[in-house]
């Protein structure tokens, strides 16, 4: 039962253009959504998050949009840079069984071409 889904395993974008990574979720109990970035041979690192009471959060070149009615969120990277090439994980947090649980999607591999 995948509660957080990233349906695109990979994405290729030209440097300078916009990268849009998508994520869908099923559990209405999620109250925070996060994006993590992972380089090869490293662990995931936190990138940006959004509360379920907001619909947009921006941090520099990164913007996350949340559409609660559609249970969909997206990460926009503008402009994309070659150093952004990595695997991006969408994650959602909910209070379950006396603790916050962080549920991850399967990841999208982004390649930014010079």
Q: Which residues bind another protein (CB under 8 A)?
A: 2, 4, 6, 9, 31-32, 34, 41-46, 49, 89, 91, 93, 96-107
Question: Residue 68 or 109: which CB sits closer to another protein?
Answer: 109
Any idea what the Cα angle at residue 22 is, between residues 17 and 54, rounded to 5°?
100
Q: Which of 87, 85, 92 is nearest to 71 (CA)?
A: 92
- Chain centre distance of CA 109: 11
Considering the complex, state which of residue 73 and residue 107 has its C-beta at the smaller distance from another protein: 107
The smaller minimum CB distance to another protein, of residues 80 and 91, is found at 91
Q: What is the rounded distance in angstroms from the CA atom of residue 88 to the CA atom of residue 76?
A: 12
Between 43 and 114, name the residue whose CB sits nearer to another protein. 43
- Minimum distance between the CB of residue 84 and another protein, rounded to whole angstroms? 19
112 beta partners: 13
Query: Least Å distance between CB 80 and another protein?
Result: 23
Q: How far is the CB of 91 from another protein (least distance, A)?
A: 6
User: How far apart are alpha carbons 8 and 21 in whole angstroms?
Assistant: 8
């Amino acid at each position: 039962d995948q509660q957080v889904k990233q349906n695109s395993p990979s994405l290729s974008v030209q440097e300078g253009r916009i990268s849009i990574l998508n994520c869908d979720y099923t559990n209405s109990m999620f109250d925070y959504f996060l994006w993590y970035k992972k380089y090869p041979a490293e662990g995931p690192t936190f990138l940006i998050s959004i509360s379920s009471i907001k619909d947009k959060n921006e941090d520099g070149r990164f913007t996350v949009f949340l559409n609660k009615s559609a249970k969909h969120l997206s990460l926009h990277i503008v402009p994309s840079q070659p150093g952004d090439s990595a695997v991006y994980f969408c994650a959602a947090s909910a209070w379950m069984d006396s603790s916050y649980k962080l549920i991850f999607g399967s990841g999208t591999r982004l390649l930014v071409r010079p």
